[in-house]
């Protein structure tokens, strides 16, 4: 049996699954420390199913991407680009929204180093220059550093050496290296590396807390976090690469929605406590964004589902006249601050309670009819607009409504043929986490002197599939999802670096 | 005369990416570089070719190299400007305007950056109506305008002056220089009078790129098919639809060369490229489109054009064929920019005849 947990901005959901069946589910407020919320959820699951034998805990969380979207808990971060004399025309964070750039600070350092396409140095790495940069970073009190070298996916040496020089003078720094995070295309890779770096303190804190929570409950099982593509990674890995969890929320909710509803095509709207994600299912899988995805206004080149996020959820603040709902939210303080819990803040959930469509909380809510009506119209209009934007055909499509905030909407939404609310839909995210896929990866340099490329690729694909299977994926479900080869013309023998990823169901 | 503003750059870059047939340099970076310069100096003046005095000197500026290099190895930022100033000095004459030589890809926006940096106007024209991988593959070559004297400039501060026997030699030598400069460099060359330009270049292509980009944007907004909208405004044809199942790409002698395969319903389409897409044919050997006609790969659902460096396993693409400018359909044009130039056998057949 597996436990799937989704830690959202507002609620923590957990499900216990035995194969294809949901045995138990719980919902509890996300706590500021994350830990106690999860501990509460796990305790409740245990009370519900005392004899359950748990094999693994899989956690999906929007915690890190929410931090970027809300510009909070982001550590000041320095960008070190190994590029000079090239690379000056478009400096680090050039295409970022101003307020995010201000949050992590404008600490861009251009240094010598980096490689040409054929592996030659653009200019030699300068140890003294890098140590000086390290000292200046230290003087500003910054401990997060993102290092990006030109052509590092072809030749990572410079980034690794630069990290050593920086660590010499900044021993307590966390250094994120771009070649471990992104693919070819300097700006997008650097952006992803910077986002990763600024999230590492939060990620470390969160994952330590998670591990402790499991230990306290004497749950001695592997802890996984779910990645953007719906596959699992170890918690240690996730602490160093929080950026890889960015799209796991929508991926989990869409995969969970497909699983629970049995539908393979349609739109998925997941209304959480803080945000709403709107995406599309194509043949049972989240539709992928083409080419580039913007996260919090920052362009990256991850493989991610195409999702539109709105600042609308059960905890969204409602204005005095009801004309404005969100994007500000009481987030995890819903059960203290919302009117229906005896608090003072009027949030979207209060509108549902006051209008009689939902029973939530501990206190009755009475609001002026005009405010209720206005807010309901606003919520419907926001969703209809988002659905319309994400639709690629103009006809009506089936809509799967999931997430705890789905009580906010009725069943009539413009542009939809039917609104499906599957059983357990309020825990679709957690279900998605529990049914996460297993991947097998190959990343290796091959020589092509005596072999043809097709042979090498076929071999790498077969190996990735075999790895996925041996890691626990069912052989009939394994599919190759990524194939990339980067010719390394600096090496003799017509060498090429091949990366293949295969994924399948547990 | 008109003003081109920062707000116009998105449409221009999208349209230029369609006309770039996979190459011409990454339009997003080109757009950003133009935008940064325009933020400091304001809008750029765009002139029609007939708004210049006959003897006015026009110098085209552009980047050469492999797209994957320009995407990784971001420029220092003054390469185009230094190439222009160096050529001006060499010619001993003052330039009246700059122009694009290649409307496809980021080479539509580099002249805008240089114009913003210098205050010079840009002439609305180019020498391809598309993108091509080689320096001399420009309509001006067909009309006897020499590439050189010209300059090739890199980030490190090198500037190489070229004077060559003919336009093909200019390509050969500039390419060697470019590879040594890291696979991406800026050029100023093909200097010509406005009188020559009116005959030898294709007018109005910047405006065309803007219109294509605007049409795609509006189609997306109104949920009509952006791919269909692209076909209508370019007079193009839908060649193939499917999923990319293989991409082979390597930097060879300064170009990104390779192919990608698209798995369709019952056959596989292979598109070869040398920076730009050259030929689209099924693995069974049926040719659907060749240069000089334009081959574009766009995201099947969003209509977003996909450049060679962004081709990836798994993408759902529609491959389009767009008829080229009439100047390329003359015997001389086909000899310079047709399939034979790239070593493909068989004569050029216009895409609309192949498909219909």
Note whether B49 and B123 are within 8 A (CB). yes
Note whether B106 and B22 are within 8 A (CB). no
Question: Measured between CB atoms, which of B33, B246, B248 is closest to A90?
Answer: B33
- Beta-carbon contacts of A7 under 8 Å, excluding residues fewer than 6 positions away, are A30, A34, A37, A38, A59, A60, A61, A62, A63
Rounded CA-CA distance A28/A47 in Å is 14
Note whether B123 and B145 are within 8 A (CB). no
Q: Which of A91, A98, A117 to mutate to test the interface with B (most CBs of B within 10 A)?
A: A117
Kindly state whether residue A266 falls inside one of the protein's structural domains: no
Note whether B200 and B139 are within 8 A (CB). yes
The alpha carbon of residue A499 and the mean position of all alpha carbons in its chain are separated, in whole angstroms, by 22
Are A419 and A444 members of one domain? Answer: no
- Say if the Cβ atoms of A150 and B304 lie within 8 Å: no
Shortest distance, CA A89 to any CA of chain B (angstroms): 4
Q: What is the mean pLDDT of chain B?
A: 94
Kindly state whether residue A53 falls inside one of the protein's structural domains: yes
- Say if the Cβ atoms of A86 and B71 lie within 8 Å: no
Are A165 and A215 members of one domain? Answer: no
- Minimum Cα–Cα distance from B304: chain A residue: A290
Interface of A with B (CB under 8 A): 83, 85-90, 94-95, 114, 116-118, 122-123, 150-151, 184-187, 287-288, 290-292, 299, 388, 391-394, 453, 457, 481-485, 487, 489, 496
| Residue count of chain B | 356
Rounded CA-CA distance B302/A184 in Å is 23
Shortest distance, CA B297 to any CA of chain A (angstroms): 12
Total domains, chain A: 4
Question: Measured between CB atoms, which of B71, B251, B312 is closest to A186?
Answer: B71
Are A299 and A415 members of one domain? Answer: yes
Residues of B in contact with A184 (CB under 8 A): 68, 71-72, 309
Radius of gyration of chain A (CA): 24
- Minimum Cα–Cα distance from A394: chain B residue: B223
Predicted pLDDT at A290? 63
Q: Give the number of beta-carbon pairs within 8 Å between A and B.
A: 117
Domain boundaries, chain B: 2-205, 225-355
Interface of B with A (CB under 8 A): 28-29, 32-33, 36, 66, 68-69, 71-77, 155-157, 182-183, 223-224, 246-251, 299, 301-302, 304, 306, 309-310, 312-316
Rounded CA-CA distance B144/A327 in Å is 62
Q: What is the DSSP string of A294-338?
A: EETTEEE----B-EEEES-STTEEE-TTS--EEEEE-GGGHHHHB
Shortest distance, CA A88 to any CA of chain B (angstroms): 4
Predicted pLDDT at A35? 79
- Say if the Cβ atoms of A290 and B68 lie within 8 Å: no
- Minimum Cα–Cα distance from A152: chain B residue: B72
**Predicted structure pTM score:** 0.86
**Better pLDDT: B67 or B281:** B281
Instruction: State chain B's maximal CA–CA distance in angstroms.
Output: 61
State the complex-level ipTM. Answer: 0.90
Query: Secondary structure of A58-103 in the HEC alphabet?
Result: EEEECHHHHHHHCCCCCCCEEEEEEEECCCCCCCCCCCCCHHHHHH
pLDDT in tens, B144-154: 999 999 999 99
Are A297 and A244 members of one domain? Answer: no
Are A390 and A307 members of one domain? Answer: yes
CATH number at residue A113: 3.40.50
Are A426 and A441 members of one domain? Answer: no
Helices marked H in B201-303: 205-221, 226-234
Note whether B66 and B256 are within 8 A (CB). yes
- Say if the Cβ atoms of A485 and B248 lie within 8 Å: yes
Shortest distance, CA B249 to any CA of chain A (angstroms): 8
pLDDT in tens, B93-126: 999 999 999 999 999 999 999 999 999 999 999 9
Which structural domain range is residue A220 located in? 2-68+205-261
Question: How many Cα atoms sit within 13 Å of B42 on the Cβ side?
Answer: 5
Task: For domain B225-355, give its CATH number from 3.60.10.10, 2.40.390.10, 1.20.120.160, 3.40.50.2000.
Answer: 2.40.390.10
**Better pLDDT: B114 or B313:** B114
**Residues β-bridged to residue B47:** B123
Question: Measured between CB atoms, which of A89, A394, A487 is closest to B223?
Answer: A394
Predicted pLDDT at A482? 83
Residues of A in contact with B309 (CB under 8 A): 184-185
Kindly state whether residue A454 falls inside one of the protein's structural domains: yes
Are A21 and A102 members of one domain? Answer: no
Query: Of A432, A448, A468, which marks where a domain is finished?
Result: A432
> In this prediction, what percent of chain B has a pLDDT beyond 70?
100
The alpha carbon of residue B119 and the mean position of all alpha carbons in its chain are separated, in whole angstroms, by 23
Shortest distance, CA B260 to any CA of chain A (angstroms): 12
| Residue the block writes with tokens 């390394």 | A488
Residues of B in contact with A460 (CB under 8 A): none
* Tally of helices (H runs) and strands (E runs) in chain B: 12, 18
| Cα dihedral A383→A386→A388→A391 (10° resolution) | -120
Q: Which long-range contacts (CB under 8 A, 24 or more apart) does A25-28 make?
A: A25/A424, A25/A426, A25/A427, A25/A430, A27/A404, A27/A426, A27/A427
Note whether A377 and A349 are within 8 A (CB). no
- Max mean pLDDT among A174-178, B300-304, B352-356 falls in A174-178
Are A406 and A301 members of one domain? Answer: yes
Query: Of A384, A414, A432, which marks where a domain is finished?
Result: A432
Tokens of A282: 């194509």
Q: Which of A82, A89, A495 to mutate to test the interface with B (most CBs of B within 10 A)?
A: A89
Tokens of A385: 């607009």
- Say if the Cβ atoms of B36 and A90 lie within 8 Å: yes
Note whether A259 and A427 are within 8 A (CB). no
- Say if the Cβ atoms of B313 and A151 lie within 8 Å: no
- Minimum Cα–Cα distance from B315: chain A residue: A290
Tokens of A367: 């609001």
The alpha carbon of residue A434 and the mean position of all alpha carbons in its chain are separated, in whole angstroms, by 16
Q: Per-10-residue mean pLDDT for chain A, 506 residues long?
A: 88 91 92 84 90 90 85 94 97 94 93 91 97 97 98 92 98 95 90 96 91 87 89 90 89 93 92 88 78 82 80 92 88 89 94 90 92 93 85 80 87 87 92 91 81 90 92 88 77 76 86
Rounded CA-CA distance B340/B348 in Å is 8
- Assess whether pLDDT exceeds 70 at residue B228: yes
Kindly state whether residue A444 falls inside one of the protein's structural domains: yes
* CATH superfamily placement of domain B2-205: CV3147-like domain (3.40.1610.10)
- Assess whether pLDDT exceeds 70 at residue B234: yes
Kindly state whether residue A277 falls inside one of the protein's structural domains: no
Shortest distance, CA A8 to any CA of chain B (angstroms): 30
Question: Measured between CB atoms, which of B32, B312, B314 is closest to A95?
Answer: B32
Predicted pLDDT at A225? 93
Tokens of B236: 């193009």
Nearest alpha-carbon partner for B15 in B125, B115, B129, B132 = B129
Q: Which of B14, B30, B36, B73 to mutate to test the interface with A (most CBs of A within 10 A)?
A: B73
Residues of B in contact with A484 (CB under 8 A): 247, 312-313
How sure is the predictor about B127, in pLDDT bands with cuts at 50, 70 and 90?
very high
**Residues β-bridged to residue A317:** A347
Kindly state whether residue A283 falls inside one of the protein's structural domains: no
Predicted pLDDT at A22? 94
Q: Is A379 buried (19+), middle (13-18) or exposed (0-12) by CB count in 10 A?
A: buried
Nearest alpha-carbon partner for A194 in A105, A83, A84, A127 = A105
Predicted pLDDT at A275? 85
Question: Measured between CB atoms, which of B28, B247, B251 is closest to A489?
Answer: B251
Note whether B321 and B295 are within 8 A (CB). yes
Rounded CA-CA distance B93/A491 in Å is 46
- Beta-carbon contacts of B248 under 8 Å, excluding residues fewer than 6 positions away, are A453, A485, B258, B259, B260
- Say if the Cβ atoms of A484 and B312 lie within 8 Å: yes
Mean local confidence (pLDDT), B197-215: 97
Query: Of A180, A199, A218, which marks where a domain is finished?
Result: A199
Shortest distance, CA B56 to any CA of chain A (angstroms): 30
Shortest distance, CA B350 to any CA of chain A (angstroms): 30
> In this prediction, what percent of chain B has a pLDDT beyond 90?
83
Residue A327, preceding peptide bond in cis (omega within 30° of 0): yes
Q: A423 vs A347, A427, A428, A482, B187, CA distance in Å? A: 25, 9, 9, 33, 63
- Assess whether pLDDT exceeds 80 at residue B26: no
Predicted pLDDT at A145? 98
Are A176 and A219 members of one domain? Answer: no
Rounded CA-CA distance A162/A379 in Å is 50
Q: Which of B37, B72, B226 to mutate to test the interface with A (most CBs of A within 10 A)?
A: B72
Query: Which helix (H) or strand (E) segment is B10 a member of?
Result: helix B9-19
Note whether B249 and B255 are within 8 A (CB). no
Residues of B in contact with A86 (CB under 8 A): 73-76, 155-156, 182
Using DSSP, state whether A275 is helix, strand or coil: coil
- Beta-carbon contacts of B213 under 8 Å, excluding residues fewer than 6 positions away, are B10, B11, B12, B13, B14, B15, B16, B18
| Residue the block writes with tokens 């765009």 | B46
Relative to beta strand B97-99, strand B57-65 is parallel
- Minimum Cα–Cα distance from A395: chain B residue: B223
């Amino acid at each position: 049996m597996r436990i799937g947990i989704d830690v959202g901005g507002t609620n923590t959901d957990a499900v216990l699954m035995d194969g294809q069946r949901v045995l138990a589910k719980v919902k509890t407020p996300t706590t500021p420390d994350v830990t106690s919320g999860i501990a509460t959820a796990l305790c409740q699951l245990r009370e519900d199913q005392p004899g359950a034998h748990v094999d693994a805990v899989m956690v999906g969380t929007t915690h890190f991407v929410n931090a970027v979207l809300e510009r909070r808990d982001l550590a000041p971060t320095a960008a070190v680009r190994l590029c000079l004399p090239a690379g000056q025309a478009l400096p680090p964070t050039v295409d970022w929204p101003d307020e995010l750039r201000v949050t992590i600070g404008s600490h861009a350092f251009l240094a010598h180093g980096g490689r040409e396409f054929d592996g030659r140095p653009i200019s030699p790495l300068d140890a003294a220059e890098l140590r000086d940069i390290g000292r200046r970073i230290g003087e500003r009190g910054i401990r997060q550093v993102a290092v990006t070298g030109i052509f590092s996916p072809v030749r990572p040496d410079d980034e690794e050496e630069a990290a050593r020089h920086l660590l010499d003078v900044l021993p307590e720094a966390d250094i994120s290296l771009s070649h471990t995070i992104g693919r070819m295309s300097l700006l997008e890779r650097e952006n992803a590396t910077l986002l990763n770096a600024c999230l590492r303190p939060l990620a470390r804190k969160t994952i330590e807390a998670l591990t402790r929570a499991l230990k306290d409950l004497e749950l001695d099982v592997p802890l996984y976090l779910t990645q953007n593509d719906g596959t699992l990674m170890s918690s240690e890995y996730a602490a160093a690469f929080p950026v890889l969890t960015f799209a796991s929320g929508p991926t989990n909710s869409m995969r969970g929605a497909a699983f629970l509803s049995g539908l393979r095509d349609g739109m998925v709207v997941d209304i959480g406590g803080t945000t709403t994600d709107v995406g599309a299912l194509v043949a049972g899988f989240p539709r992928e964004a083409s080419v580039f995805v913007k996260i919090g206004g920052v362009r990256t080149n991850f493989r991610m589902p195409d999702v539109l996020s709105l600042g609308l959820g059960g905890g969204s603040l409602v204005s005095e006249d009801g004309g404005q709902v969100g994007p500000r939210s009481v987030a995890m303080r819903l059960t203290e601050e919302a009117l229906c819990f005896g608090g003072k803040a009027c949030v979207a959930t209060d509108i549902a309670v006051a209008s009689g469509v939902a029973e939530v909380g501990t206190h009755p809510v009475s609001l002026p009819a005009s405010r209720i009506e206005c807010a309901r119209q606003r919520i419907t209009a926001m969703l209809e607009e988002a659905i319309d934007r994400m639709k690629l055909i103009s006809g009506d499509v089936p809509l799967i409504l999931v997430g705890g905030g789905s009580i906010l909407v009725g069943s009539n939404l413009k542009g939809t043929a039917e609104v499906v609310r599957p059983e357990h839909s309020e825990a679709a995210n957690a279900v998605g986490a529990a049914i996460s896929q297993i991947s097998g990866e190959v990343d290796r340099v091959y020589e092509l002197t005596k072999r043809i490329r097709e042979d090498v690729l076929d071999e790498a694909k077969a190996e990735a599939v075999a790895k996925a299977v041996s890691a626990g994926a069912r052989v009939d479900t394994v599919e190759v999802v990524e194939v990339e080869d980067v010719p390394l013309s600096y090496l003799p023998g017509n060498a090429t670096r091949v990366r293949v990823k295969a994924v399948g169901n547990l | 005369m008109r003003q081109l503003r920062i707000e116009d750059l998105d449409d221009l870059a999208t349209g230029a990416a369609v006309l770039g047939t996979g190459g011409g340099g990454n339009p997003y970076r080109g757009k950003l570089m133009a935008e940064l310069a325009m933020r400091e100096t304001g809008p750029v003046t765009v002139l029609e070719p007939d708004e210049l005095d006959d003897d006015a000197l026009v110098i085209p500026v552009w980047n050469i190299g492999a797209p994957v290099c320009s995407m990784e190895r971001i420029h220092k930022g003054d390469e185009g400007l230094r190439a222009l100033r160096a050529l001006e000095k060499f010619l001993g004459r003052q330039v009246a305007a700059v122009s694009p030589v290649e409307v496809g890809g980021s080479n539509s926006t580099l002249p805008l950056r240089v114009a913003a940096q210098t205050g010079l106007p840009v002439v609305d024209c180019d020498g391809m109506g598309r993108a091509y991988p080689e320096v001399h593959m420009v309509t001006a070559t067909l009309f006897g305008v020499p590439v050189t004297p010209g300059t090739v400039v890199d980030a490190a501060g090198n500037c190489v002056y070229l004077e060559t026997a003919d336009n093909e030699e200019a390509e050969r030598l500039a390419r060697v220089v470019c590879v040594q400069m890291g696979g991406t460099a800026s050029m100023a060359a093909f200097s010509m009078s406005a009188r020559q330009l009116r005959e030898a270049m294709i007018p109005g292509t910047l405006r065309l790129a803007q219109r294509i980009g605007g049409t795609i944007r509006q189609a997306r907004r109104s949920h009509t098919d952006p791919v269909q909208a692209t076909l209508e405004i370019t007079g193009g044809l839908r060649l193939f639809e499917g999923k990319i199942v293989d991409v082979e790409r390597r930097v060879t002698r300064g170009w990104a060369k390779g192919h990608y395969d698209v798995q369709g319903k019952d056959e596989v389409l292979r598109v070869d490229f040398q920076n730009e897409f050259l030929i689209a044919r099924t693995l069974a050997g049926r040719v659907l489109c060749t240069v000089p006609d334009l081959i574009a790969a766009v995201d099947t659902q969003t209509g977003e054009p996909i450049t060679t460096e962004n081709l990836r396993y798994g993408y759902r693409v529609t491959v389009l064929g767009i008829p080229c400018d009439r100047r390329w359909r003359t015997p001389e044009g086909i000899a310079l920019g047709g399939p034979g130039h790239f070593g493909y056998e068989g004569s050029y057949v216009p895409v609309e005849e192949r498909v219909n």
